[in-house]
A = this chain, B = another copy of it.
């Protein structure tokens, strides 16, 4: 089985994502990054939130730098890469582009946790770890 290391999500800006300055509200970039993450997991044959799942994937840290705005009906790409995997965490990096022009850079670190009895970091199950791998081209 080939491990998945990156994903390219093509997306159009929706009206409800645009604020009164006429540009996509910055909070949406984090949702775009997460959409690409979940699509990458599906590509790997996984679901990040299976019903009745005993484990979860809370976000530990995330950041974005914004270079150019996105506007209503713009089409853009989210290029997500697995930048690093540790026993209990995964770090992603992503670049948003529109027609090849850089829009924004993002990153996100998630941790594998057991949900009960209390939320606590645990080792990523082998079944999941075996399907994802850091992108060799990652910094």
Contact = CB atoms under 8 A, between A and B. Distances in A.
Nearest to A42: B73
A69 B22 contact: no
Given A49-B72, A62-B64, A20 B25 contact: no
Interface string A4-32: 00000000001110111111011110110
Interface residues of A, number: 39
A129 B99 CA distance: 32
25 contacts: A14-B34, A14-B38, A15-B19, A15-B20, A15-B34, A15-B35, A15-B48, A16-B25, A16-B27, A18-B19, A19-B20, A21-B49, A21-B56, A21-B115, A22-B51, A26-B58, A26-B62, A27-B30, A47-B72, A49-B72, A51-B71, A51-B72, A60-B65, A60-B66, A61-B65
